[in-house]
């Protein structure tokens, strides 16, 4: 614990900020592992695969060739060209280079966009369950978070009527995330069109479409870019994406955004006075990832789908859990309402999903993230991006721990 006098010296904005709950849970799991406990973490949002060798080689070669200096603040021209080609190839969307922004991860792209546009009391609409960082980033940038809830019964899809209820002249952004973290929901073309229709009455509202899981869709589900469903909104949509999830490159920290040139120019200004630019060598790696052979992604998708089905098969054996089938991304967002009010073997009553996550960690050595972190309770998010043996073990231990609960 820090002494209070030191905490007081931290800015109010940072005092109000949470440490990312997914990172916090992962750190707890690592600390327990370091103490010798047998812990399996299902808490982090990253693939267990290695970055493909061709990408690593491209980075190595770039460094040897002297690509070790500052780059343009919001990305090397060659990488922006690769982003442009990728958007044309995968989404049939065309952008000029001055409509493309590169930063250190999709997280920083989102931060730069919010920092570049939000003034005090500007409102940003997000749909719960939402990715943990949205709310903190919005508040850090001075905005006000407006949460619209979705329901498991509606497949966690954003309800256009509910969006209409919260839009005001102060709304600056509406943030959409499909495929969704944590629910795996995919917003179909028709739903996106309906959302766009509601937004037609608010021409000043910007839309941020976070499409970072676009390549990770299962069964016959396909990702529809928001701009494809609403091409007439091109002058107010910023699409954000990155290489972290598609190419197992979370540590390289490269994300990108594409949108109206005035927003992109403002984002470049933020970047020039903060990070300066993203790592030059990582940019070369991202360029290779986006332009090189894409076949590995399809094979990873198949592996993830098998793991998803396997995990669901085990977890469904428990009468304590509700386990919907995600259409994309690599998380199960399990309902744990039946666990609430139950008694653990040590006699404690589980009062919230945080208690359930704590119980699973302390009793079964399984790290998960409570739905509360995503603005929706009582749920647990479990990542299935780990090898099938560990996944089998983890799911089995969850079912066993739940079986020990009594009412
Ligand atoms: N958006 C969503 C929905 C995410 O789940 C994540 C990471 O978990 C990000 C953005 C940020 O990704 P990165 O900063 O690694 O590119």
| 3-state SS class at 353 | helix
Q: Which of 10-14, 116-120, 242-246 has the lowest mean pLDDT?
A: 10-14
Predicted local distance difference test score (pLDDT) of residue 341: 98
Predicted local distance difference test score (pLDDT) of residue 105: 98
Q: At what angle do helices 133-140 and 106-117 cross, to 10 degrees?
A: 30
Indicate whether 206 and 167 sit together in one domain: yes
**How far does residue 328's CA lie from ligand 1's centre (Å)?**
14
Pocket of ligand 1, candidates 242, 331, 383: which has the most ligand atoms within 8 Å of its Cβ, to mutate? 242
Decide if pLDDT at 4 tops 80.
no
d(CA 401, CA 403): 5
d(CA 236, CA 233): 6
Indicate whether 178 and 136 sit together in one domain: yes
List the CATH number of the domain containing 397. Answer: 3.90.1150.10
| Peptide bond between residue 182 and the one before it cis (omega within 30 degrees of 0) | yes
**Closest residue to atom 8 of ligand 1, CA basis:** 45
Predicted local distance difference test score (pLDDT) of residue 2: 60
- 176 CB near ligand 1 (under 6 Å): no
| Average pLDDT of span 110-139 | 97
- 225 CB near ligand 1 (under 6 Å): no
Instruction: Say how many residues make up the chain.
Output: 407
**How far does residue 244's CA lie from ligand 1's centre (Å)?**
7
Indicate whether 59 and 32 sit together in one domain: no
Pocket of ligand 1, candidates 245, 257, 282: which has the most ligand atoms within 8 Å of its Cβ, to mutate? 245
Model confidence pLDDT, tens digit, residues 314-337: 999 999 999 999 999 999 999 999
Q: Which atom of ligand 1 has the smallest separation from the CA of 329? A: 5
| Peptide bond between residue 179 and the one before it cis (omega within 30 degrees of 0) | yes
Q: Does residue 1 fall inside a structural domain? A: no
**Closest residue to atom 5 of ligand 1, CA basis:** 181
- Which of the pair, 13 or 304, is modelled with greater confidence? 304
Indicate whether 218 and 340 sit together in one domain: no
For 137, the domain range is 55-291
Q: Does residue 24 fall inside a structural domain? A: yes
| Average pLDDT of span 220-235 | 97
Q: How many CB atoms lie within 10 A of CB 89?
A: 12
Contact 213, 181 (CB under 8 A): yes
Q: Does residue 138 fall inside a structural domain? A: yes
Indicate whether 372 and 255 sit together in one domain: no
Residue where a domain stops, chosen among 291, 312, 338: 291
| Average pLDDT of span 66-87 | 98
**How far does residue 133's CA lie from ligand 1's centre (Å)?**
9
Domain count, the chain: 2
Q: Does residue 174 fall inside a structural domain? A: yes
Kindly list the distances between the CA atom of residue 352 and the CA atoms of 334, 336, 349, 370, 379, in Å, as whole numbers in the listed order. Answer: 14, 9, 9, 9, 9
User: What is the chain's mean pLDDT, rounded?
Assistant: 96
The encoded tokens of residue 44 equal: 């982090």
Residues 6+ apart with CB under 8 A from 9: none
- 210 CB near ligand 1 (under 6 Å): yes
Model confidence pLDDT, tens digit, residues 179-193: 999 999 999 999 999
The structure's pTM equals 0.96
- 250 CB near ligand 1 (under 6 Å): yes
**How far does residue 147's CA lie from ligand 1's centre (Å)?**
19
Indicate whether 336 and 238 sit together in one domain: no
Residue where a domain stops, chosen among 291, 317, 336: 291
Model confidence pLDDT, tens digit, residues 337-389: 999 999 999 999 999 999 999 999 999 999 999 999 999 999 999 999 999 99
Q: Does residue 407 fall inside a structural domain? A: no
Indicate whether 143 and 255 sit together in one domain: yes
| 3-state SS class at 254 | coil
Indicate whether 252 and 336 sit together in one domain: no
Indicate whether 45 and 60 sit together in one domain: no
- 177 CB near ligand 1 (under 6 Å): yes
- 105 CB near ligand 1 (under 6 Å): yes
Residue where a domain stops, chosen among 291, 311, 337: 291
Pocket of ligand 1, candidates 45, 127, 253: which has the most ligand atoms within 8 Å of its Cβ, to mutate? 45
List the CATH number of the domain containing 179. Answer: 3.40.640.10
**Phi, psi values for residue 51, rounded to 5°:** -55, 130
Closest alpha carbon to 124 in 147, 101, 151, 158: 147
Pocket of ligand 1, candidates 106, 178, 326: which has the most ligand atoms within 8 Å of its Cβ, to mutate? 106
Confidence of residue 6 (pLDDT cuts 50, 70, 90): confident
Q: For 130-210, where are the E strands, in sequence order?
A: 144-149, 171-177, 206-210
Q: Does residue 161 fall inside a structural domain? A: yes
| Average pLDDT of span 38-53 | 94
- 107 CB near ligand 1 (under 6 Å): yes
Indicate whether 210 and 109 sit together in one domain: yes
Indicate whether 63 and 208 sit together in one domain: yes
**How far does residue 248's CA lie from ligand 1's centre (Å)?**
12
The encoded tokens of residue 106 equal: 């999709």
Residues 6+ apart with CB under 8 A from 142: 118, 119, 120, 122
Decide if pLDDT at 270 tops 60.
yes
Contact 207, 236 (CB under 8 A): yes
The encoded tokens of residue 93 equal: 């969307």
Q: Where are the alpha helices (DSSP H) in 202-325?
A: 226-229, 261-273, 280-291, 295-315
Based on DSSP, count helices (H) and strands (E) in the chain, helices before strands.
15, 12
- 212 CB near ligand 1 (under 6 Å): yes
- 181 CB near ligand 1 (under 6 Å): yes
**How far does residue 104's CA lie from ligand 1's centre (Å)?**
11
| Average pLDDT of span 217-233 | 97
Q: Does residue 2 fall inside a structural domain? A: no
**How far does residue 333's CA lie from ligand 1's centre (Å)?**
17
Decide if pLDDT at 1 tops 70.
no
**How far does residue 215's CA lie from ligand 1's centre (Å)?**
14
Closest alpha carbon to 58 in 79, 80, 72: 79
Indicate whether 277 and 389 sit together in one domain: no
Confidence of residue 44 (pLDDT cuts 50, 70, 90): confident
């Amino acid at each position: 614990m820090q002494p209070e006098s030191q905490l007081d010296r931290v800015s109010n904005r940072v005092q109000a900020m949470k440490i990312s709950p997914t990172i916090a849970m992962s750190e707890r799991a690592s600390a327990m592992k370091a103490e010798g406990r047998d812990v399996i973490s299902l808490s982090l949002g990253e693939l267990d695969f290695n970055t493909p060798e061709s990408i690593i080689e491209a980075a190595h070669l770039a460094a040897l060739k002297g690509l070790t200096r500052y780059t343009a603040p919001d990305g090397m021209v060659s990488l922006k060209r690769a982003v442009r080609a990728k958007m044309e190839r995968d989404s049939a969307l065309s952008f000029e280079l001055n409509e493309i922004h590169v930063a250190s991860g999709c997280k920083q792209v989102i931060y730069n966009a919010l920092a570049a546009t939000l003034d005090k009391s500007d409102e940003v609409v997000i749909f719960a369950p939402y990715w943990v960082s949205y709310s903190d980033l919005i508040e850090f940038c001075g905005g006000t978070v407006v949460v619209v809830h979705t329901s498991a019964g509606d497949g966690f899809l954003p309800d256009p009527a509910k969006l209409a209820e919260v839009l005001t002249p102060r709304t600056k952004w509406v943030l959409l995330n499909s495929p969704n973290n944590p629910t795996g929901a995919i917003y179909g073309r028709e739903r996106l069109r309906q959302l766009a229709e509601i937004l037609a009455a608010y021409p000043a509202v910007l839309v941020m479409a976070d499409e970072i899981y676009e390549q990770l869709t299962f069964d016959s589900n396909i990702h529809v870019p928001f701009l494809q469903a609403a091409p007439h909104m091109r002058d107010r949509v910023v699409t954000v994406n990155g290489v972290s999830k598609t190419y197992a490159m979370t540590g390289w920290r490269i994300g990108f955004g594409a949108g109206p040139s005035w927003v992109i120019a403002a984002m470049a200004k933020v970047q020039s006075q903060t990070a300066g630019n993203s790592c030059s060598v990582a940019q070369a790696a991202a360029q290779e990832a986006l332009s090189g052979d894409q076949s590995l992604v399809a094979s990873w998708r198949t592996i993830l789908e098998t793991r998803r089905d396997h995990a669901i098969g085990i977890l469904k054996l428990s009468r304590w859990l509700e386990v919907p089938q995600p259409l994309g991304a690599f998380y199960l967002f399990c309902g744990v309402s039946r666990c609430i009010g139950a008694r653990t073997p040590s006699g404690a009553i589980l009062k919230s999903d945080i208690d359930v996550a704590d119980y699973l960690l302390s009793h079964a050595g399984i790290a998960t993230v409570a739905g509360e972190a995503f603005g929706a309770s009582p749920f647990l998010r479990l990542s299935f991006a780990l090898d099938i043996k560990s996944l089998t073990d983890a799911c089995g231990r969850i079912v066993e721990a739940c079986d020990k609960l009594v009412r």
